[in-house]
């Protein structure tokens, strides 16, 4: 099944609101991890965004899920990019 990389972009203006709402955001992510839909997720150390790796049938499935993220519902994501990713080695490759 394909893997999709989702890059979130954050701004300093939403840092306090993200901190306040992080438990709900992480709960949403953890539920998708438990379902096998998210492989891993985490913020960039400089606070500019985050990376989420999804295993899903299609990009459309992923993009339909993203508005359900509590951060998205609250307008805390400045921008996002979702692309199919093809790992050719390591733990996420199919070889």
**Cα(50)–Cα(35) distance, integer angstroms:** 20
**Residue 60 pLDDT > 80, yes or no?**
yes
Within a domain: residue 55? yes
Within a domain: residue 70? yes
**Residue 4 pLDDT > 90, yes or no?**
yes
What CATH number has the domain bearing residue 73? 3.30.70.1060
Mean predicted confidence (pLDDT) in 67-95:
94
Q: What is the pTM of this model?
A: 0.94
Within a domain: residue 93? no
Within a domain: residue 92? no
Within a domain: residue 69? yes
Average pLDDT over the chain, rounded to an integer: 96
Q: What is the DSSP letter of 14?
A: G
Question: Whole domain around residue 61: which residue ranges?
Answer: 3-85
**Residue 94 pLDDT > 90, yes or no?**
no
Within a domain: residue 81? yes
Mean predicted confidence (pLDDT) in 57-68:
97
Mean predicted confidence (pLDDT) in 10-24:
97
Within a domain: residue 95? no
**Residue 95 pLDDT > 70, yes or no?**
no
Domains in the chain, number: 1
């Amino acid at each position: 099944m394909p893997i999709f990389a989702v890059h979130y972009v954050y701004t300093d203006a939403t840092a306090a609101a993200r901190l306040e709402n992080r438990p709900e955001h992480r709960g949403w992510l953890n539920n998708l991890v438990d379902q096998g839909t998210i492989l891993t997720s985490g913020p960039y150390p400089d606070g500019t965004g985050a990376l989420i790796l999804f295993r899903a049938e299609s990009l459309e499935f992923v993009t339909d899920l993203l508005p359900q993220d509590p951060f998205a519902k609250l307008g805390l994501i400045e921008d996002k990019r979702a692309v199919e990713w093809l790992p050719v080695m390591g733990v996420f490759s199919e070889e």
